Amino acid sequence: MATVPEDGGALQLHHLALAAAAVALVSAYLVWFWALSRRLSGPHMWPLVGSLPSVVLNRGRVHDWILDNLRATGEAATYQTCILPLPLVARRQGLVTVTCNPRNLEHILRARFDNYPKGPMWQAAFHDLLGQGIFNSDGDTWVLQRKTAALEFTTRTLRQAMARWANRIIKNRLWTILADHGASVDLQDLLLRLTFDNICGLTFGKDPETLSPGLPENPFANAFDSATEATLQRFLFPSFLWRVKKALGVGSERSLRDSLAVVDRYLTEAIAARKATPSDDLLSRFMKKRDGSGRAFPDDVLSWIALNFVLAGRDTSSVALSWFFWIVTQRRDVERKVVQEIAAVLRDTRGGYDDTGKWTEEPLDFDELDRLVYLKAALAETLRLYPSVPQDSKYVVADDVLPDGTVVPAGSAITYSIYSVGRMESIWGKDCAEFRPERWLSGDGTRFEPPKDAYRFVAFNGGPRTCLGKDLAYLQMKSIASAVLLRHSLDLVPGHKVEQKMSLTLFMKNGLQVHVMPRDLAAYAAPPEEPAPCQGVVVIPTTTAAAA
Ligand code: HEM
C-alpha cells in the first residue's frame, strides 16, 4: 500500500485548510451579498458584478431601462442598486440610487441643496474643459458666478439680443439652405450648427458661421466637439485610467489636449476682440463686472465663463427642436395648430388676408414670438417626453434619508432620471404617454401654465441650479420653429430610423432626415372656421422607423 510521505501530508493538509478558508470566505461573501441584495430594491444583481450585466445588455436603451425599473417600484419611483458589490465599496462608490420621485427631487435640488453638489468625480473629469466655470463648480465659486450671471439673464436686453442673433442666422442662412436643399436634409445637423452659431454670437459676439451653404467644417466647432467627446470618455472607465492616459499624453487624452489648444486660441482672440470693441454679448457684460473683491475677471476666468455658456446652451435647444420637428411629422393636428397660431399673430401684426408674403419677409420679432403660447406648450410637451438632458447625478456629502425613506450614505451618488419623471403614470396621469400640448395651457387656451409642483417637470433642472437659459431657450426655439414651419412643411424620409443616442444629451443617433416642402400659406390667410380635430396618436414610440 502506498504511503503518503510526511511532507506530502502536510501539503495536503495545507491545501485542505486553504480550500476550507476559500469556502468560508465565499460563503461569507454570499451571505453578505444576499443580505445586500435583499436590502436593495433595483434590478437583479449578481455577485461581484452587481447590476452591471443588465446595464451592458440595455446599453442601447438606458433611459427606457431606467424607466422600466422605476415603474416596477410603483409609487416609490426610487430604487437602489450596486455596480460594485464588494465590502467597503458597496455602500459608497458602488451604490447607485436612482429616483424620479418629485419629493426626492425637491429634497436633492432645493431643500438639502448643500448636501448634493456635483461632486469631486464630475468636477475632476470636466476640469480641463470647463475649469471652475458655473457649470462645473460648487460652493462659493459657483455662488459668485451664478449671482453675476443671474443678473444678466433676467434682463430684457439679453433676450432681445438672443432674438436678434437667431433671426440674423435664420434670415441670412437657414432659409436659403432650406430653400436650396437637395432630396433630403439632416435637420438635426442644421439645427446643431444653427444653435452653435447662435450661442457663440450671444456669448462672445462672434458667429462662427458653421451653418452656411455647403455646411463647411469649422476648426473651433470641431475642436469643441472632440474636447466634449473626450471629456465624456472619462466617465466610461475608472478615473485612474484617464489620469494615466493624460500623464502619458495618449489616446483620447491627447486628442483632448490638442482640441483644448484650438479652443483656447479661439477664445483668446475672441476676448481680445471684445476688449477692443465691446458689444451686447455676455462676454462684454462680464468684462464690466467685478468679482467679490472688486477686481475685474482675469482672462482665463472670462474664457471659462464663455466656454461654460457655450456648452450649456449649444446642443440642448437643437436636440429639443429635433424631437419637436419629428413629432410634428407624426402629428399633423399639432402642426396645423402651431401654424394657425403663428398665422393669427401675423394677421394681427403684419396684416395680410391678401398678402401673406409679408409674413415670410422677416422672422418673427421678439413681441410676436412672445404671443405664441401653443407653440411654447408644444415645446414644453416635447421636453417632458424628450428632455435634452435625460438624466443627471449628484454626490452625497453626508448620510441622509430621502423623503420616501431611502437611506443614502455619504460618498455615494444619486442619479435622477429626468426622462422618467415625464413618463410616469403616477406623476402625469393615465395619458402620460400621449403628446398633448393642451396640458400646458389654461382652460381657455390663452396662457401657458406650467405645473404647480415644479418638480413634476425638471427638464430645466430645479432649485438654485435651475437652468439660467430657460427663457432664452424657449425664445430661441420658438423663433426657429416658427421660421421653419411658416415657410415649409416636413416629411420624414421613408425608412429613416429615429433613435435615441445614449449620451449626456438626448441626440438622435441617426439624425433627422426629412424632405422639406414649401408651405402654401393661402389656407392660413383667414382665421380657421372650426378647430382642427385631434388625431389622438397616443404612445410616442422611443425608437421608431418612419411612419408609413
Ligand atoms: C432646451 C434648452 C435647454 C435645456 C433643456 C436646458 C437644461 C438645463 C439643465 C438640465 C441644467 C442643469 C445641468 C446641471 O446642473 O447638471 C441646465 C443648467 C444651465 N443652463 Fe440650461 N438648458 C437649455 C438651454 C440653455 C441655454 C440656451 C443657456 C444659455 C444661454 C443655458 C444655460 C445654462 C446654465 C448657465 C446652466 C448652469 C446653471 C448652474 O449650474 O447654476 N441653458 N440647463
**487-508 residue pLDDT tens:** 999 999 999 999 999 888 999 9
* Closest C-alpha to 469, from 296, 312, 235: 312
CA distance 475 to 244: 44
Give the C-alpha distances (Å, rounded to integers) separating 280 from 146, 319, 349: 19, 26, 27
Q: How far is the CA of 174 from the centre of ligand 1 (A)?
A: 24
Residue 228 pLDDT > 70, yes or no? yes
CA distance 382 to 323: 7
Q: What is the pLDDT of residue 540?
A: 53
Give the C-alpha distances (Å, rounded to integers) separating 368 from 56, 283, 352, 363, 482: 48, 28, 15, 10, 10
pLDDT-derived band at 257, boundaries 50, 70, 90: very high
Residue 385 pLDDT > 60, yes or no? yes
CA distance 176 to 398: 56
Q: What is the pLDDT of residue 112?
A: 98
Q: What is the pLDDT of residue 156?
A: 79
Per-residue pLDDT of 138-152, as tens digits, reads: 998 899 889 888 888
Longest dimension (CA), the chain: 116
CA distance 415 to 83: 13
Residues with CB under 6 A from ligand 1: 134-135, 146, 199, 309, 312-313, 316-317, 320, 383, 388-389, 392, 459-461, 465, 467-469, 472-473
CA distance 497 to 499: 6
**Placement of cell 433611459 in the chain:** 63
Q: What is the pLDDT of residue 528?
A: 73
* Closest C-alpha to 322, from 541, 475, 510: 510
Lowest mean pLDDT among 5-19, 81-95, 269-283, 334-348: 5-19
Pick the atom of ligand 1 nearest to 387's CA: 5
Per-residue pLDDT of 49-98, as tens digits, reads: 999 888 889 988 999 999 999 999 988 999 999 988 999 888 888 899 99
Residue 319 pLDDT > 60, yes or no? yes
pLDDT-derived band at 538, boundaries 50, 70, 90: very low
* Beta strand extents in 330-446 (DSSP E only): 391-395, 400-401, 407-408, 413-417
| For residues 511-529, average pLDDT | 87
| For residues 467-483, average pLDDT | 95
Give the C-alpha distances (Å, rounded to integers) separating 218 from 266, 374, 505, 543: 11, 36, 21, 31
Q: How far is the CA of 470 from the centre of ligand 1 (A)?
A: 7
Q: What is the pLDDT of residue 368?
A: 94
Q: Which residues are annotated as a binding site for heme?
A: 467
Q: What is the pLDDT of residue 541?
A: 47
Nearest alpha carbon, ligand 1 atom 11: 467
Q: What is the pLDDT of residue 531?
A: 55
C-alpha cell at 206: 462672434
**Placement of cell 458666478 in the chain:** 145
| For residues 236-265, average pLDDT | 90
Percent helix, strand, coil in the chain (nearest 5)? Answer: 55, 10, 35
Q: What is the pLDDT of residue 249?
A: 94
Pick the atom of ligand 1 nearest to 472's CA: 27
Asked whether 345 and 368 are in contact (CB, 8 A), the reply is yes
| For residues 461-480, average pLDDT | 95
Pick the atom of ligand 1 nearest to 383's CA: 5
Which one has a higher pLDDT value, 363 or 161? 363
Share of the chain above pLDDT 70, in %: 95
Nearest alpha carbon, ligand 1 atom 12: 461
Nearest alpha carbon, ligand 1 atom 21: 467
Q: What is the pLDDT of residue 8?
A: 75
Q: What is the pLDDT of residue 290?
A: 80
Q: How far is the CA of 250 from the centre of ligand 1 (A)?
A: 32
pLDDT-derived band at 530, boundaries 50, 70, 90: low
Per-residue pLDDT of 180-205, as tens digits, reads: 877 799 999 999 999 999 999 999 88
pLDDT-derived band at 157, boundaries 50, 70, 90: confident
Count CB neighbours of 202 within 10 A. Answer: 25
Count CB neighbours of 441 within 10 A. Answer: 18
Our measurement of the distance from residue 238's CA atom to the centroid of its chain's CA atoms, rounded to an integer in Å, reads: 23
Q: How far is the CA of 485 from the centre of ligand 1 (A)?
A: 26
Q: Which residues are annotated as a binding site?
A: 467
Q: How far is the CA of 404 from the centre of ligand 1 (A)?
A: 27
Q: What is the pLDDT of residue 5?
A: 57
Lowest mean pLDDT among 205-219, 249-263, 342-356: 342-356
Which one has a higher pLDDT value, 156 or 358? 358
Per-residue pLDDT of 424-435, as tens digits, reads: 999 999 999 999
Terminus-to-terminus CA distance in the chain, angstroms?
Answer: 83
Burial class (CB in 10 A: 0-12, 13-18, 19+), 114: exposed
Residue 536 pLDDT > 50, yes or no? no
- Look over the chain and give the mean of its residue pLDDT values, rounded to a whole number: 89
